[in-house]
Amino acid sequence: METSTTKHLATEVIDYVKAPNLEGYFSYDTFRFKPKKDVNFIKGGGGLYGIFYEGLLIYVGKYQGTQKDFFAGDIITARWIKHIATITLKGNKVSFSERSYNQIVAFIEEVGDNEFKNHLELFDSLILGDYDLFTTDRGCMSTFDRFKFALDIWKDPDHSIDNMLSKLSFVYCRLDGNIETSFARDIVSMSENEVLSKTHPRCNAISNRIDKGSFTEIEVTDLFETSLLNNSIAMAGTKILPENGSEDEIVDTSPPFIKKIESSHPEHLEAIDNLINEIENLHDVSIAFTNTAGGDLRVRKHFPELRGFVNAITFEWQPKKERLLCKTMLNPEDISSNVLSIDRVGSSVLKSETFIHPKIIDDYMNEIKLFMAKAIEVRERGKSIKQRSHVKETNRFVVLDLETTGFSFAKGDRIIEIACLEIVDGSAGKHFHRRINPEREIPKRSTEVHGITNEDLVNAPTFREISKELVEFLGESDLVIHNAAFDYPFLSKQLASVGEKSLTNKFHCTLKAARSSMRDLIDKKKLDDLCDYFLIDRSSRTKHGAMIDVELTAKVFLKMVELKFIIIM
């Protein structure tokens, strides 16, 4: 067995086209990245690869071909174009986990605009954009580490995509020879962990990261080749498998929908990717990958004026029959195409089911686009818009703040303190304040922020026990929150988890308002900074605490309304 290594400039292997703008997403131009045609090297086959910026290593990954064939696949399509999208933050499908997104918002809130003058368009997009669009899996998940690296790229006044690509490159070290697929995969996994432990690249998700210095293309090539060959020799003649699950091992974050196609029929990926890109060319339409039915793809029609969306189309991949199952609300008479038809009727909301074979997608794209546009139109006229807020006249507002065990509800974090303060006709009124037993341990890092310990909450009520009282206090009043992108969806999800309705209240975010209307007046937009600007005494705020935070947020909100930084409609 031997290795073969090739080196490639990003500009030589990756092409791009401008993507349509989507309201509530990045306000700057984003792009669909794709492989360049007539790339002259073997793109398939398992091995290790490195990504470099200005000649220095920033990421190490492994590629293991397809499920059936270690020596097949297309590393550019399967890996590199996604990395370019998430590292530059210029991809049209980039999104973040809830945890990463909330870390990013907290970072932006902490730093000053003057320190990041070249980043204002990026920061504004993330703070002022649509939470659902940025935290829904759209096929290209980025991380907080990659965001931090992107800040360095964006420091260059010329942060055009051409300039970014000109500084990125790849090293690809393939395993060659007559070797069993499962054996080759074990070698590659061992080698990846070994190289990661020696390098700790900036864009890899690594626990307890240590600065190991900089590594050039030559040094990394030597690490790749040496590790792969040594591990192949060490494992020769043995059936002992390597240990899996190293903290440095990189998990493939591709959506289950894509993984199923990639593992069973990768030859269909390009046609389905073309279909997805045509979907996002439709006005106010986005895609969302979920874990439902083992991984599906949903087409969402957005209603920016209502801050909501509907799921108009659902695609599921059927590997045995090599086809897409497409669910819509269409009736047979809605379809004028000779290519597509309602094949059967199910029992779900999107009950009409149509089968689409990937082999026909490119040849009949116009007919499929008309079919999808009609499905979106019919669904748009239907009911059940997933609306996060409604507009109504009110003279009562509820200022709200949470303290939690961490950033991610999906990963088990929960509320440990909630405070609400009503404002009626411009004056503070009743309040609702509870500490809550989260029924899980509070991490030390969270206690350092708010000072609340596990012992403090031993006798506190659970969220389920206070939820009805909380819902009654909130009513239908507009909510006022500093950093609503975190508190609003977190509370909404925790309410739903105990059987209450998700939030639909309209909300006003003092952080967003400060970012959009006070840019030239104040550098940082944290709650403390806004208090200082409006000469509000915050001396009693020594740690984050829900009650003191709502009292200060209420005063900031009233000042912002008085001075027209927030306009109440």
Which token pair is 93? 């499908």
For residue 487, pLDDT over 70 is answered with yes
Helix, strand or coil for residue 2?
Answer: strand
The pLDDT of residue 240 is 42
Helix (H) or strand (E) run with residue 367 in it: helix 365-380
Question: For 308-329, what is each residue's pLDDT tens digit?
Answer: 788 899 999 998 888 999 999 9
Mean pLDDT across the chain: 87
Query: Can you spell out the DSSP letters for 271-319?
Result: HHHHHHHHHTTSTTEEEEEE-GGGSEEEEEEEEGGGTEEEEEEEEEEET
For residue 34, pLDDT over 60 is answered with yes
Where in the sequence numbering do the catalytic residues fall?
544
Which token pair is 67? 């499920």
As separate numbers, helices (DSSP H) first and strands (DSSP E) second, the chain gives 20, 20
The pLDDT of residue 377 is 87
For residue 235, pLDDT over 80 is answered with no
Residue 157: exposure state from Cβ atoms within 10 A (0-12, 13-18, ≥19): exposed
Q: What is the pTM of this model?
A: 0.80
Dihedral pair phi/psi, residue 310, rounded to 5°? -125, 150
Helix, strand or coil for residue 53?
Answer: strand
Question: For 520-547, what is each residue's pLDDT tens digit?
Answer: 788 889 999 999 999 999 988 877 788 9
Distances (CA, A) of 87 to 238, 325, 436, 487: 39, 33, 39, 27
- Flag the least confident range among 48-62, 177-191, 250-264, 466-480: 250-264
Rounded average pLDDT over 356-365:
91
For residue 85, pLDDT over 60 is answered with yes
Helix, strand or coil for residue 455?
Answer: helix
**For residues 41 and 493, which has the higher predicted lDDT (pLDDT)?**
493
Rounded average pLDDT over 344-368:
87
Q: Which CATH superfamily is domain 396-562 in?
A: Ribonuclease H-like superfamily/Ribonuclease H (3.30.420.10)
* 56-70, 95-109, 297-311: range with highest mean pLDDT: 95-109
Q: What span, in angstroms and rounded, lies between the C-alpha atoms of 568 and 557?
A: 11
For residue 385, pLDDT over 50 is answered with no
Spatial contact of 133 and 22, defined as CB atoms under 8 Å apart: yes
* CB atoms near residue 468 (< 10 Å): 12
The pLDDT of residue 389 is 35
The pLDDT of residue 250 is 42
Going from N- to C-terminal start, the domains of the chain cover 2-235, 256-387, 396-562
For residue 392, pLDDT over 80 is answered with no
Spatial contact of 298 and 291, defined as CB atoms under 8 Å apart: no
Q: What span, in angstroms and rounded, lies between the C-alpha atoms of 71 and 177?
A: 10
Q: What span, in angstroms and rounded, lies between the C-alpha atoms of 552 and 530?
A: 9
Which token pair is 117? 């003058």
